[in-house]
Amino acid sequence: MKNCANCDNLLTENSNYCSQCGQSILSFEKPIKPVLTEMIHESLDIDGRMFLTLKTLLLKPGMLSLEYRNGRRAKYTPPFRMYLVISILFFLLVSTLDFSGYGQVDDSVARSEYYPKIMFVLLPVFALLLQLFFKGTFYLSNLIFAIHIHCISYLAWAVMLPLEEYEKAYPVFIYLQIPFIVYLLVYIVLALKRYYAESWRKVIAKFFAIFFLYVSALGISFDYVLHAL
């Protein structure tokens, strides 16, 4: 038994956070290896929840958002934390790739800090499009769904982007990307169907409308950044 260093509240034996102020009990007065291990564990939420969350995200389109909306949240990693981890890893990957051979896309821009910023700004835009097309829904719920869709998109693109690098030398890698593209498109449709529970006709029509508007917003945003630099 010991006290919280921040508010002096009595801590329980197995607690990782103070129940009074919420501060982590992680101490830096120890060798660096265990401190780093604890920090990574705490940041990535490696306690079983992250693995269950990723499994549900990858294999059950829309289920993770549905579970969160229905209040079954404790066993899953919080969506904002998951988005932060996945997006950081994804854009670190992007920064290591060479985009100099992709037409209008300048290599220095492809490696810059603007891409994650643009994607982060457009995340609530995607949620707003969901709000407009699915009447009677709440924006925060749509934002959670948008976060999960962006997470699965980053994971799919994390596989496809390295394949794009190899396709310049080996054209066969173009075809290896097709299953991931199909997976992502089908995934989004199935997620929309499960989460919003509308007819297939409405879901597919709204998917194409949202997809067109969002891709247009992406194109305009990237074009603006490319011409502003």
User: Is 71 in the same domain as 176?
Assistant: yes
Shared domain check, 17 and 33: yes
Q: What are the start-end ranges of the H helices in 168-199? A: 172-196
Q: Are residues 29 and 137 in the same domain?
A: no
Statement to judge: residues 95 and 137 lie in one domain: yes
Clarify whether residues 14 and 76 are in a common domain. Answer: no
d(CA 206, CA 212): 10
Range of the domain at 14: 2-43
C-alpha to C-alpha distances, 129 to 5, 62, 115, 149, 202, nearest whole angstrom: 45, 17, 21, 13, 15
53 with 89, same domain: the answer is: yes
> Domain check: are 26 and 90 in the same one?
no
- Indicate the pTM of the whole model: 0.75
Looking at the fold, whether 31 and 75 belong to one and the same domain comes out as no
For residue 215, which of 180, 184, 194 has the smallest C-alpha distance? 184
- Write b or e for each residue in 9-43: b if 16 or more Cβ atoms lie within 10 A of its Cβ, otherwise e: eebeeeeeebeeeeeeeeeeeeeeeeeeebeeeee
Q: Which residue has the higher pLDDT, 128 or 77?
A: 128
Tokens (6 digits) for 218: 């992406």
- Domain count for the chain: 2
pLDDT digits (tens, 9 = 90+) for 167-190: 777 778 788 888 999 999 999 999
Q: How confident is the model at residue 212 (pLDDT cuts 50, 70, 90)?
A: very high
| 27 and 101 inside one domain | no
Question: Is 14 in the same domain as 113?
Answer: no
Query: pLDDT tens, 135-148?
Result: 999 999 999 999 99
- Phi, psi dihedrals of residue 23, rounded to the nearest 5°: -70, 140
Which of 28, 43, 58 is where one domain is finished? 43
**Residues listed for the chain:** 229
Rounded Cα gap, residues 126 and 143, in angstroms: 8
157-173 tens-digit pLDDT: 888 888 877 777 777 87
Are 138 and 32 part of one and the same domain? no
Each residue's pLDDT tens digit, 63-100 = 999 999 988 888 888 888 889 888 888 888 877 775 54
Angle in degrees, CA 183, 184, 186, rounded to 5: 65
Let me know whether 197 and 109 are in one domain.
yes
The pLDDT assigned to 109 comes to 43
